[in-house]
Amino acid sequence: MASVEPKAPKGLPPSFVWGFATAAYQIEGGVSEGGRGPCIWDKFMHLEPSVTNGVNGDVACDHYHKFEEDLDLLAKYGARAYRFSISWSRIIPLGGREDPVNEEGIAFYTSLIDGLLARNIQPWVTLYHWDLPQALHDRYGGWLNVEEVQKDFERYARVCFERFGDRAKNWITINEPWIVSIHGYSIGIDAPGRSSTNKQCSEGDSPREPWIAAKALIMSHARAASLYNKEFKAKQGGRIGVSINGDYYEPWDPKDARDHEAAERRMEFHIGWFANPMMLAQDYPASMRAQLGDRLPQFTDAELSLLRDAELDFYGMNYYTAQFARHRSTPAEETDHKGNVDELAENKAGVSVGEPSGIWWLRPAPELFRKHLVRIYKKYGKPIYITENGCPCPGEEKMNKEESVRDEYRQRYFATHLDAIVGALQDGVEVKGYFAWSLMDNMEWGLGYDYRFGVTHTNYETLERTPKESALRLRSIIESRMST
Ligand code: PNW
């Protein structure tokens, strides 16, 4: 590992923003404290233990009580910025636009934000990282009710901008709308666990619902961003964007034009689905219209106009891995959401996209990360912040603390991905910041607590935090790549 710094290519600007990221439900716990209302993940994990490995977020990392200690960790690691999410049902326990604001919830995030500023760490606030108030799901179907949910989200966003925007200047509306739509409403492995194809789910209509939920997420995002642009940005001097996930895809057979098309189509179904409306105020990609027909909702002129008012300051990119895409010769199934392609870890010549990590879906592919950055920047033209990037080390789920803290694999993952960012800067891409996922080991959603993405080891029995080597190393990995 000593080798990564001396040879490191220079090129990160001295202003490069960097730090660590988390999400409320994955770390906070304290689910019935401080006036917090239930969210869809509380219900999902308690009612569907077979899907969620019998775990839940009731305690998680107990960040709700230990946040001061966690702020001290950030300071110790030298972070310039911290990305966290606000729990909607801590701010408005019943979620809706007529429902009361919970001052205890406001007080919690006020302490968190003030604690960051006192340590000279910039707050980066995600409004929605998957924890919809359960009351809104019960009242009108939550994300399945495009017209209602966007009004409630706008009011929730307004409360956050009004109460925190004088000190929090960097806003992310929604985290990974693809996961919310597909995992929540098509394959049913995330809250609210709806699917017509997954036998473990009792409800859902997956040929329709993911596309409806996605439109609700897009329009809710647009309402919040246009509100910020109109009423808060000039006064508060902040910025707003969105965090979009999506792997990079290479053609399985580089000599087959149909695989080149399949790779591009796969990325349109993953990224363009959200980025075309959110970043460009445009309709969904043509390849999606061609495959999905009437199942894909339309945008009205008024909706496109709202999307134009919601112009964003940056593209937040959550990037972990890449894959190969191979075209299929059979027609797409009704529930297909991938553009009718096969996804493979090896190409036709048997070359792997990357070595295995500590989770099956993630293989590091930093050279493809550089290509990904170039592709996204060419398409959307906004400055890019990497709002998530990280991995569990191979076998880390079975390691004890002493083994887990010696995380060379994670340090190499960070170093090679920062090299890719330097490469992309040389290609002319504006990459302005980087958040490692995650500040600490936490609840990896329905997979539970076994997969450890943290730079801090969490002991879930004692809740003790122990910095892994990568926690202290990230700063030098970044600073050694800065041009002075
Ligand atoms: C992101 N996949 O989710 C989320 O934003 C985080 O909350 C999460 O902990 C992190 O990545 C690590 O997984 C993903 O299956 C969940 O490809 C699943 C996938 C990708 C991203």
Average pLDDT, the chain: 97
Kindly indicate the confidence band of residue 440, based on its pLDDT and cuts at 50, 70 and 90. Answer: very high
Which residues in 274-284 are b (16+ Cβ under 10 Å) and which e?
bbbbbbbbeeb
What separation in Å is there between the alpha carbon of 246 and the centre of ligand 1? 10
Distance set, CA 339 to CA 176, 189, 197 (Å):
18, 20, 18
Query: What is the reported pLDDT for 48?
Result: 76
Query: What is the reported pLDDT for 483?
Result: 85
Cβ(160)–Cβ(88) below 8 Å: no
Query: What is the reported pLDDT for 54?
Result: 87
pLDDT at 484 over 90: no
Mean per-residue pLDDT, 30-52: 93
Q: Is 361 in the pocket of ligand 1 (CB under 6 A)?
A: yes
What separation in Å is there between the alpha carbon of 395 and the centre of ligand 1? 18
Tens-place pLDDT, residues 264-294: 999 999 999 999 999 999 999 999 999 999 9
Which ligand 1 atom is the nearest neighbour of the CA of 23?
7
pLDDT at 5 over 70: no
Residue of 176, 250, 268, 396 with catalytic role: 176
Q: Is 41 in the pocket of ligand 1 (CB under 6 A)?
A: no
Tens-place pLDDT, residues 303-337: 999 999 999 999 999 999 999 999 999 999 999 99
pLDDT at 191 over 90: yes
Query: What is the reported pLDDT for 344?
Result: 98
Q: Is 172 in the pocket of ligand 1 (CB under 6 A)?
A: no
What separation in Å is there between the alpha carbon of 166 and the centre of ligand 1? 30
Q: Helices marked H in 273-320 — which ranges?
A: 273-280, 286-292, 301-309
Which of 12, 57, 19 lies closest to 437, judged by CA? 19
To the query of whether residue 176 is one of the catalytic residues in this protein, the response is yes
Which ligand 1 atom is the nearest neighbour of the CA of 359?
13
Burial of 329 (0-12, 13-18, 19+ CB in 10 A): exposed
Look at phi and psi of residue 207 and say left if phi exceeds 0, alpha if psi is from -120 to 50, else beta: alpha
CA dihedral sign of residues 12, 16, 17, 19: positive
Nearest CA to ligand 1 atom 14: 179
CA 61 to chain centre: 19
Which DSSP string do the residues of 94-116 spell out, in sequence order?
Answer: T-STTSPP-HHHHHHHHHHHHHH
Residue of 48, 209, 264, 388 with catalytic role: 388
Mean per-residue pLDDT, 61-69: 98
| pTM (two decimals) | 0.97
Query: What is the reported pLDDT for 7?
Result: 61
pLDDT at 3 over 50: no
Whole-number Å distance between alpha carbons of 105 and 95:
13
Kindly indicate the confidence band of residue 4, based on its pLDDT and cuts at 50, 70 and 90. Answer: very low
Q: Which long-range contacts (CB under 8 A, 24 or more apart) does 391-395 make?
A: 391/320, 391/357, 391/358, 391/359, 391/362, 391/364, 391/453, 392/357, 392/358, 392/359, 392/362, 392/451, 392/452, 392/453, 393/357, 393/358, 393/452, 394/356, 394/357, 394/358, 395/358
Tens-place pLDDT, residues 67-115: 999 999 999 999 999 999 999 999 999 999 999 999 999 999 999 999 9
Q: Is 259 in the pocket of ligand 1 (CB under 6 A)?
A: no
pLDDT above 70 as % of the chain: 98
Nearest CA to ligand 1 atom 16: 179
The amino acid at residue 35 is G
Which of 298, 290, 376 lies closest to 340, judged by CA? 290
| CA count, 13 A, side-chain hemisphere, 231 | 14
Query: What is the reported pLDDT for 472?
Result: 97
Query: What is the reported pLDDT for 47?
Result: 87
To the query of whether residue 334 is one of the catalytic residues in this protein, the response is no
Which DSSP string do the residues of 359-375 spell out, in sequence order?
Answer: STT----HHHHHHHHHH
Axis crossing angle, helix 209-227 with helix 177-185, rounded to the nearest 10: 150
What separation in Å is there between the alpha carbon of 262 and the centre of ligand 1? 23
Mean per-residue pLDDT, 1-11: 59
Probe ligand 1: pick from 320, 323, 386, 440, max atoms within 8 Å of CB? 320
Probe ligand 1: pick from 130, 174, 437, 451, max atoms within 8 Å of CB? 437
What percent of the residues of the chain are helix, what percent strand, and what percent coil, each to the nearest 5? 45, 15, 40
Tens-place pLDDT, residues 220-264: 999 999 999 999 999 999 999 999 999 999 999 999 999 999 999
Q: Which residue is listed with tokens 């009242």?
A: 139
Probe ligand 1: pick from 22, 172, 388, 449, max atoms within 8 Å of CB? 388
